A and B are shown apart, each in its own frame.
Chain A
């Protein structure tokens, strides 16, 4: 019984209190079980030996338990460390790939253009220049994502709410995809009677932008992308759906995790876009969920509780 107490203590306490506990338990044992009982005097030589033996056993017991615990926690931290290192390696690999690819393009293309190689045709020169331009845009996008992520991480993000016409939000966001969306059919369904919502236009623009670009990046050309907006009980409902292949069921919950990339997904993308989306939606006290649609494709559904106004239903001034 006393030994059990000592080992339980050893599981939770530091080495000094553990030794102290072993010593105290020996004293206690002396007090209770060694005649004359209820005194600290030890009668016979055998009893003294017994007491010493008990103390040694208690001590060894305590120290061993403590050591085992220490080793276990060391193993745990080592495992955690290995996991963290693996995670950061993946992150840095994908990040450095994402940043270095366009940088390599720029350096290579400019080297070519600056060299006195007369064999480069005018057409090739133009091609190289347009590659530089694409690379720079890609870099800019990545940097923007990284900056948004660090804004979110540092917790300095401020939601500056103002009245937003959600249809205007959708069309303004789509304007940035003008050259791209010709390859995709974008349907917008938002009732004319939609009220104005209090939202941060800039943040919501990025939310929508990332969802659309996610759909474009991971579905085949010609896919239908549908943006739907509606209102219910002072809540904005915004969904972005596509008719692509959808997400693997097992990975659905992880897509919003920072740096998570769905297995086998196309190159390009740091795994930041969707976590920024979730961050910005949550900054509005809203929620976002992902589901696979019954026939085909995926749907991201956003729900944001916010003030609304129907000033647009007032008669014209």
Chain B
């Protein structure tokens, strides 16, 4: 991929500098904006490949900017937020943010989120079979194998796993998962999700007590990590 351009919208000069240096050292082009107005203008004139948007901007609420951007901007948007307010994060994800990072974040985490978001933005290299170390999934035959043995999954378990694997690296909110797998009327029935996640972990994780693939994002949702 030729160097992707990332737009950083954050009012703190220190954070912008940190992000610029980090991203440039990973071969990204970086454009900076310190206000919502400036950021929106740049997105209009030179649409970037990804936007890192701070929720606490001085001139306009980050949620507003997000909603406004999502009316026409389709590339990934990752939210930066200081308060670890889960409600805020869930709201931003519902408004079309692709992922989030809570300040302070680790550089490794930042790069993983950006890479995964950009990969998702690109057309799927429609792999029908993906091999993770502990298990493999075959979308064509709808089967999951662990140590070359077929793992018996119920239809719901398979749909849940397939949905998560297809969104690898991205956080999926409780509401989103419930809505996709069980339907809109189950949006608040989180007990099903808890139970099925526990069952899936037992079946695919090499140590269900230290899950490395299905990661809990507390108060927000779940994230599938390939590792």
Provide the bound-state CA to CA distance between A138 and B136, in Å: 40
Q: Does A311 contact B (CB under 8 A)?
A: yes
Q: Quick check: B210 and A163 within 8 Å, CB to CB?
A: no
Q: Quick check: B104 and A136 within 8 Å, CB to CB?
A: yes
Q: Does A317 contact B (CB under 8 A)?
A: yes
Beyond A171-B209, A171-B211, A316-B199, whether A201 also contacts B194 by CB under 8 A is no
Q: Which residues of A contact B133 (CB under 8 A)?
A: none
Q: Quick check: B191 and A317 within 8 Å, CB to CB?
A: no
Query: Which single residue of chain B is at the shortest CB-CB distance from A133?
Result: B106
Q: Which residues of B contact A174 (CB under 8 A)?
A: 210
Which listed residue (A163, A202, A316) contacts B86, Cβ 8 A? A202
Q: Does A175 contact B (CB under 8 A)?
A: yes
Q: Quick check: B219 and A201 within 8 Å, CB to CB?
A: yes
Q: Which residues of A contact B194 (CB under 8 A)?
A: 163-165, 168, 196, 312
Question: Per-residue CB proximity of B204-227 to A under 8 Å, as 1/0?
Answer: 000001110000101100000000
Q: Does B154 contact A (CB under 8 A)?
A: yes
Q: Which residues of A contact B155 (CB under 8 A)?
A: 317
Q: Does A289 contact B (CB under 8 A)?
A: no
Query: Which single residue of chain B is at the shortest CB-CB distance from A200?
Result: B219
Q: Which residues of B contact A70 (CB under 8 A)?
A: none
Provide the bound-state CA to CA distance between A309 and B199, in Å: 16
- Which of A136, A160, A164, A312 is the most central at the interface, judged by chain B CB atoms within 10 Å of its CB? A312
Which listed residue (A136, A162, A205, A311) contacts B192, Cβ 8 A? A311
Q: Does B190 contact A (CB under 8 A)?
A: yes
Q: Which residues of B contact A188 (CB under 8 A)?
A: 209
Q: Which residues of A contact B104 (CB under 8 A)?
A: 136, 140
What number of residue pairs across chains A and B have CB atoms under 8 A from each other? 52
Q: Which residues of A contact B87 (CB under 8 A)?
A: 160
Q: Quick check: A168 and B197 within 8 Å, CB to CB?
A: yes
Q: Quick check: B198 and A165 within 8 Å, CB to CB?
A: yes
- Mostly, the A contact residues are helix
A284 CB to nearest B CB, Å:
15
- Which of A165, A172, A201 is the most central at the interface, judged by chain B CB atoms within 10 Å of its CB? A165
A210 CB to nearest B CB, Å:
15
Q: Quick check: A168 and B210 within 8 Å, CB to CB?
A: no
Provide the bound-state CA to CA distance between A188 and B192, in Å: 24
Which residues of A, 155-210, contact B by the 8 Å Cβ criterion? 160, 162-165, 167-168, 171-172, 174-175, 188, 196, 201-202, 205
Provide the bound-state CA to CA distance between A163 and B191, in Å: 5
Beyond A196-B195, A312-B198, A317-B155, whether A163 also contacts B190 by CB under 8 A is yes
Q: Does B156 contact A (CB under 8 A)?
A: yes
Provide the bound-state CA to CA distance between A312 and B202, in Å: 13
- Which of A136, A164, A168 is the most central at the interface, judged by chain B CB atoms within 10 Å of its CB? A168
Q: Quick check: A196 and B219 within 8 Å, CB to CB?
A: no
Query: Which single residue of chain A is at the shortest CB-CB distance from B219?
Result: A202
Provide the bound-state CA to CA distance between A188 and B207, in Å: 14
Q: Which residues of A contact B156 (CB under 8 A)?
A: 316-317
Q: Which residues of B contact A160 (CB under 8 A)?
A: 86-87, 219
Beyond A162-B190, A309-B191, A317-B154, whether A167 also contacts B198 by CB under 8 A is yes
Q: Which residues of B contact A311 (CB under 8 A)?
A: 191-192, 195
Query: Which single residue of chain B is at the shortest CB-CB distance from A198?
Result: B191
Q: Which residues of B contact A171 (CB under 8 A)?
A: 209-211
22 contacts between A and B (CB under 8 A): A136-B104, A160-B87, A160-B219, A162-B174, A165-B195, A168-B194, A168-B197, A168-B216, A171-B210, A172-B216, A188-B209, A196-B191, A196-B194, A196-B195, A201-B218, A202-B219, A309-B191, A311-B195, A312-B198, A316-B156, A316-B157, A317-B156
Considering the complex of A and B, which 9 residue pairs feature the smallest CB-CB distances, nearest first? Answer: A163-B191, A312-B195, A165-B194, A172-B216, A202-B219, A311-B191, A317-B156, A316-B154, A163-B190
**Chain B contacts to A: CB under 8 angstroms:** 86-87, 104, 154-157, 174, 190-192, 194-195, 197-199, 209-211, 216, 218-219
